[in-house]
Structure 1
């Protein structure tokens, strides 16, 4: 599901929510400026994505939709985060990527795509929002993240690449604090750890409610990924500020 599909789904669900008071919806689209750090390898040499692959900060679209359901049905959280980096790299000596040995002293280009899409199910802690007069809410649940990864190195007429689509189950926790009718502070955490694999995604957000159903928000997002899967080894992190606009019913 891409950004356009996510927005289309949000508009359709908003129309449904408008006629069903028991269901709530929040949708937002924004941009995230993230800085890549760490190293990456495919069947061979670790490559530093900042110093050797020369990846710079990138600003990409992202989108999310939250749907609150009635009674004790699970609430839904959809999120799309496209992520792509490229650059012309250099490295002292030779290096192996996949089944090919490249000469690092000769200019080469590379690309790393790490798009990910989330479907989360969560529940609010019963009665907490009521007990705090709507000021504090805490959500707990599970998240299924689909990662669409592609890594490629090109030098002269030689190209080596690796594609991988993998599902990652994660634990989800969210907190919303709204001390004023026009302002809310929010935090989200997703994470999993098993074997040599680690994946953490942290979001902090400040939200200004501009009108009854419209808001603007800004915050910081940080992701940490350690994977050893299908000949791919990575220890990377991405972090930076984001801004978004959205609506809620």
Structure 2
């Protein structure tokens, strides 16, 4: 038994030494300057808004918080994990009826959305010739709080909804040797040819070359798109803009 334990301990120690550069934790966060645009139409009473009418965005820019955490390990059969958070705010006008109540004219409407992405992924390339390619699945949890404000003849309406959407996740990264610079893009998407949702980012970052903890900065552009047309529902919403933040690598 002692020999078995000693052998396992030695193997674990050797694996740790050999795979030391494969264990990594990264995190970051910052501000996304997103501008919403688009509309949502329904011709029945279902959905988050219980809307039989139209919601139209006012396309007002908003500063939103985002954060992310990446944990990479050397155990091949177990996927690595990436966690993300972002908030989205949208203001617009709703016309028609909500929850069976007619709106005279239109009513100011706000949507506060929180997204939580849970992404298990595998490395197809792991900094091979300074190139990384990741492939995985994303469970995007969307929490929506919608407030349709009261207007004359309409008492207002508030609703909360949580939806989980599965997406395919692909990430590519190129490290520029001896510079500290990195170029990165990732895509989360799903489509059936008619209905589509995607979340795309592209960025450049700079990492300071310290020994243990390596801080960095990132600047990029992000766009989210939801497009649905199933007869009773037509949605064409877009949230896009630049983002900037700080990073830490361990």
Q: Please indicate, yes or no, whether the TM-score normalized by the shorter chain is above 0.5.
A: yes
Is 2:64 the counterpart of 1:67? no
Match of 2:172 among 167, 172, 175: 175
The aligned counterpart of 1:103 is 104
The aligned counterpart of 1:214 is 215
- Give the superposed CA RMSD: 2.3
The aligned counterpart of 2:139 is 144
The aligned counterpart of 2:115 is 116
Is 2:187 the counterpart of 1:186? no
Is 2:86 the counterpart of 1:81? yes
Is 2:196 the counterpart of 1:198? yes
The aligned counterpart of 1:44 is 52
- CA offset digits 1:93-133 (Å, max 9, x no partner): x622332211226xx4311122110000111115x633x1x
Q: In the TM superposition, what is the alpha-carbon distance from 1:47 to its structure 2 partner?
A: 2.2
Is 2:222 the counterpart of 1:226? no
Taking the aligned partners of 2:245 and 2:137, their CA distance within structure 1 comes to 24
Q: In the TM superposition, what is the alpha-carbon distance from 1:210 to its structure 2 partner?
A: 2.7
- The answer to whether the Cα contact below 8 Å between 1:100 and 1:160 also exists between their aligned partners in 2 is no
Secondary structure of the residue aligned to 2:127 is: helix
**Aligned structure 1 segments of 4 or more residues deviating by more than 6 angstroms:** none
Taking the aligned partners of 1:121 and 1:244, their CA distance within structure 2 comes to 23
Using structure 1 for the length normalisation, give the TM-score: 0.78
- CA offset digits 1:74-98 (Å, max 9, x no partner): 11010001112336x4x8xx62233
Taking the aligned partners of 1:124 and 1:220, their CA distance within structure 2 comes to 24
Aligned length: 215
Taking the aligned partners of 2:171 and 2:191, their CA distance within structure 1 comes to 19
Taking the aligned partners of 2:169 and 2:188, their CA distance within structure 1 comes to 5
Give unmatched runs, 5+ long, in structure 2.
Answer: 1-18, 42-48
Give unmatched runs, 5+ long, in structure 1.
Answer: 1-19
Taking the aligned partners of 1:237 and 1:84, their CA distance within structure 2 comes to 12
Using structure 2 for the length normalisation, give the TM-score: 0.78
